[in-house]
Amino acid sequence: MARPQTSDAIAEWNARGVLILPRFYCDAEIDAVLADYRALWKDGHACVTVDDMDLDQRIRLRNVSSDARRSHRFKVNDLYLEQASVRHLALNDRLVPLLQQLLSGQRPALCNSLSLEYGTEQQDHVDSLFMTPRTPVHLVAVWVALEHCSPESGLLRYWPGSHRIEPYLFSNGKRHFIPEELGAWTVWMREQVRQRGLRCELFQARKGDVFIWKAQLLHGGSPIADRGRTRRSIVFHYFSESDCRAMGHRLVSESGGFWIRRSHQPIPGSLNARMRNHAGKLARHLRAMLARSGTRSA
């Protein structure tokens, strides 16, 4: 795939908040990811965490019942921690330089991956509410189509230009969401969209297409008309290197960018989750202190 002209790409990014790269990945790159995904489910990888979207429940992949495997929709978290084929899609010498430009010159640090077989029908939202970057513009998302997507499968839905809406501040004065106040945010956002006359668009992707969006872009999943239709895709989110180092994350270098080395997502409410939350915060705090100390002494 030929790279887009830099000036055209940046102009589209600034005006619409999105960047579409048709056929960015070849079939062989996509097929490698699909083969690893099938092998993962066959092996029942013990540590991988999945979200059952039909039950709104997070569990280990090994604990998914046979019936659920056949009939439920799942979001598989953070396969970048396990599979080189996934890391290749997220961090390679074609994509990383572009992401660095979109992050204002900062090198990208992959912080998660979400693998899906079906459309999410997810409510319209803004990523920065839930993955709030330390620096407001230092979060971007990448969506990769792993197959041709039918309109009946529940296409990715987005509002070009919605990234220009001033971020909502919750009652504590911060941009990170407060669960009890999301209803108020939804009402406010709908009014902002109406006032600006923004129009929803659907992305009917083909295998290998890439869709990149700003963290403030309003987007979601359109309704699924045919429940049997798959919409295989994978989503990546990236913070900036500087934010990650300031937050004390452990970074692994790859293809000019980084990925965050960490454990898989814990199961909510478990003893392991509580211990990991406490230990993880402490470790990141210490690493951030050491990073700031090194910066001052340099």
Residues 211, 285, single domain; the answer is: no
Residues 132, 251, single domain; the answer is: yes
Number of domains in the chain: 2
CB 76 within 8 A of CB 38: no
Residues 65, 171, single domain; the answer is: yes
- What DSSP designation does 91 have? S
Of the listed ranges 109-118, 119-128, 187-196, 281-290, the one predicted with least confidence: 281-290
Residues 120, 185, single domain; the answer is: yes
Nearest to 24 by CA among 84, 73, 89: 89
7 band by pLDDT with thresholds 50, 70 and 90: confident
CB 261 within 8 A of CB 196: no
Quick one: how far is CA 67 from the chain centroid? 28
Residues 120, 85, single domain; the answer is: yes
Of the listed ranges 12-21, 160-169, 234-243, 268-277, the one predicted with least confidence: 268-277
CA dihedral 140, 10, 125, 128 (to 10 degrees): 40
Residues 277, 131, single domain; the answer is: no
Q: Report d(CA 291, CA 113) in Å as an integer.
A: 26
Q: What is the residue whose two structure tokens read 């934010």?
A: 243
Residues 83, 177, single domain; the answer is: yes
Residues 238, 124, single domain; the answer is: yes
Nearest to 176 by CA among 123, 111, 237, 128: 128
Residue 160 pLDDT > 60: yes
pLDDT, one tens digit per residue, over 198-241 is 999 999 999 999 999 999 999 999 999 999 999 999 999 999 99
- In 78-149, alpha helices (H): 84-90, 95-102, 127-130
- CATH number assigned to the domain comprising residue 101: 2.60.120.620
Helix (H, G, I), strand (E, B) or coil at 267: coil
Residues 222, 193, single domain; the answer is: yes
Residues 230, 141, single domain; the answer is: yes
Nearest to 25 by CA among 210, 258, 254: 210
Vertex 186: Cα angle to 181 and 192 (nearest 5):
125
In a domain, 224, yes or no: yes
**Sequence-distant (≥ 6) Cβ neighbours of residue 275 within 8 angstroms:** none
291 band by pLDDT with thresholds 50, 70 and 90: low
Residues 159, 291, single domain; the answer is: no
Residues 256, 276, single domain; the answer is: no
pLDDT, one tens digit per residue, over 59-103 is 999 999 999 999 999 999 999 999 999 999 999 999 999 999 999
Owning domain of residue 285: 266-298
Tokens of 208: 């290998």
Beta bridge partners of 220: 157
